[in-house]
Every structure is written in C-alpha cells, then in structure tokens.
Amino acid sequence: MGGFSWPLETELDDLRKVVAAMARRTTEEVRVVVSPYRICPLGAHIDHQGGAVSAMTINKGILLAFVPSGNPEMVLRSAQFEGEVRFRVDESHQPKKAGKANENINANGSEKLQECCWGRYARGAVYALKSKGNILNQGIIGLISGSSGLDSSGLSSSAAVGVAYLLALQNANSISVSPTENIEYDRLIENEYLGLNNGILDQSAILLSKQGCLTFMDCKTKEYKLVKSSNLKENTSGVHKSYKILLACSGLKHALTSGVGYNRRVAECREAARVLLDAVGKHELEAVLSNVEREVYEAHKDKLDPLLARRAEHYFSENMRVMKGVEAWTSGRMDDFGKLITASGRSSIQNYECGCKPLIELYEVLVKAPGVLGARFSGAGFRGCCIALVDADLASEAALFVKAEYNKLEPELVGKITQEGEAAVLICESGDGARVITAT
C-alpha cells in the first residue's frame, strides 16, 4: 500500500516488450505516454457554473506504449479490455450522434469506458487533430494500460486516455502542440466526437499539473496558476509535515443513479442563477452562478425555494473554500487545507445532495481515520472512491483503519475488491502532468 514513484521501470519494460513484439521493432524504439489521473481537493460540482477549482495529478494513471506505424494504420491493444482496434488515420472519423453518446454517460458526466468500444478515444484524437488542420501521415502501433482498479473511480480516466492518444499521435507525426492547445483538442474529443457534456477541468489538470503543486483554475476565464506549498518550512507552530493522498475504493464500479441526477443538478444551479439575476434586472446574462455576485446572492437568496437555495449555497460556499484553500496551501497550513476538503465533502452531501450510501459511509470513515487531514468524494460520489489528504507518517495506519472500518459497513463490496485482486486503499503521491518518455 505504500506510495511509490510511477511509472516503475519494470512496468515500462513490460509494455515495451509487448509493443516491440507487436510491431517487430526493438524495445529501444518504443516510446511511452504517461497520462496521470487527477484529484480535485476543492471545487466540487462548480466547474460547470464557471467557479474556481483546484486539482493535482497523482502517481497513477494511463500508460500508452507505442511506435510510429510507418504508414496511416492504427493498431491498438488494451491491457484491460479485449480485442484489437484497427483503423487508418487517413479515413474520415465523424462525431457520434448525441443520443448514442448519452447512452454511455455516468452520473458524474463521464463515459463508461468498459461499456463502449475503448478504441473510440483513439478515433476521437484523430478527429480532433485533423479538425484543426493537422496532417497525420502516420498512425501508431500501441498498447494502452491503466492503473489497476481505478478505471471507474472518479479520477478522470477518460480524459487521461484522450490525452494519451493525442500525445502519441503528435509525437509520431512530429506535431508540436502546447499543453493549452491540447486542452482544446481533448475537449473536442469529449464534447464534439463523443458528445459528452463536461468541462475542461480534467484535461487541464492532467496536462498542466506539476509534482508538489496545486493547480488552481478559474473555469469562467480559463486562467490558471500552479501554486507551490511551503509545507516543509518552519513557522511559529513548528515544522509542517509532508502529506500523502489516500484513495479509498468503495467497490462500486457502476453508478447507483442515472445520468439524469447529474444533469438535473446542473439545471437546478442554472435555475437558481436565473432567479438571482432576474432579481437585479440582469436578464441578458447567461444563467450560471459565476455571473451572480456574492452580494446579490446574499441580498436575494430568500427568493430561492429551499432546493435551489441549497444548490446556490453549495456553489458560493465551495467557491470561497477554493480561495481559502489556495491561501492555506501557499502558506503550508495543511491542517486548514484539510478541514476545507472535509467541509467540501459535507456540502456535497447536504447542499448539492449527491452521493450514495456506500460512498457517504466511506467518507465518514475517512474523516475519523488517524492522520487524515481532510476527505471528500472523488467525482460525483455515486461510485468509485473517496480521496483524503493524510499525514505522511500516519498514511499506512490510516489505510488499515479505513479498510477495517469500511469492511464492517460494506463487507460485500470490500470482498468484491479483494476478489478482483485490487487494493481497498491506495497510498499515492502528487505527480507531474502528461508527457512522453523514451527508452534510455
């Protein structure tokens, strides 16, 4: 359960050997895209309203080993899913119809990768690149693999897959693209090609994050900054200890609610925004809560019915938690940062009213675990895992506590995790953003 650097050289070697055999090349010719998963400590459920969010990547994610094919053909295999995907980059790849795509939407707005053709993201990457005028002369021969047990955990595995294919195709065709440009390319994959109605937080975190930094983004302006922490420096209260990230898996890989719940909450936020904007005569503004000033909310929140009032309260309180969190992170006040994470989780349950019984139970267990500074859902809270910031010295003790206590509450789900050979709790570290590495 310990936190190790990722990817391990043994992982890379194993992938290189498979691809070398597939392509009849040497292992030295095989390149690997490292596309990490992300967590969002603060900024839950407000990105679609133009709110402020925070994120960081972890040392788990997607690895795509590949070689340029030398022709327009794409040949892809997956370590998780069956079959082989073959197509040509010089073929036409058109966006999917919205109705078809929406059949594969989860409650948190992301695509169910296990239930669709896993090669669609590769086709989407070709579509995105060509739609912006890039010329693709070469496909890739590749093997894609995700960190065990984390493909449905609310860690943005779908965005990591899209980014991985983009970087591999750009590398194979000597196309130079900035991280911010790739955010737009991945948006094209998800929004246009696959018809997924999500924002740009996930791919932004995957492409922009740096180890040890908190990525802060204003989803209204799209401006971002990397925030360093002074958590190892001394202050009046002594030396701040380092931290680890706990991923506590619920055992739920299928949402216990439909995508309607997610979409309905987005609509409720917009309805609350419209009531507040109309109250001050700003009928022309788009009905999103980021267009409502805090003073307007405070002055007119009594005009909202109870349900809309809870949605608006979550938005404004969460936006404030993000701002306070950046201050706490910058000054190294990890205890304060953790308390804000826990408060975010509580508001997600009480005000945004998302989550399900196992995830809420898991959240409550994490909050009580030794050394845990703060915890919340990862994703919408209908499946997958919870995340926690934990004192590095107590991470192993916390992991054992969480597994034991959650087992008392949900023995069948924990048994399912164990049966599948996966860890109930993983100890992770922050990592770097997506990149391509070559054999040394």
> Catalytic positions, please?
202
**Residue corresponding to tokens 């937080």:** 201
The runs of H, that is alpha helices, within 89-156 are 98-102, 120-131
Which candidate, 388, 377, 294, places its Cα nearest to that of 339?
Answer: 388
Burial class (CB in 10 A: 0-12, 13-18, 19+), 280: middle
Beginning with the edge strand found earlier in the chain, give each strand of the sheet holding 425-428 in spatial order.
Answer: 372-377, 385-391, 243-249, 425-428
**Residue corresponding to tokens 């991923």:** 247
Which candidate, 70, 139, 389, places its Cα nearest to that of 248?
Answer: 389
Is there a contact between 216 and 318 (Cβ–Cβ < 8 Å)?
no
Q: How far apart are CA 204 and CA 117, in angstroms?
A: 24
What DSSP string runs through 276-337?
HHHHTT-TTS-S-GGGS-HHHHHHHGGGS-HHHHHHHHHHHHHHHHHHHHHHHHHHT-HHHH
The runs of H, that is alpha helices, within 9-50 are 9-23
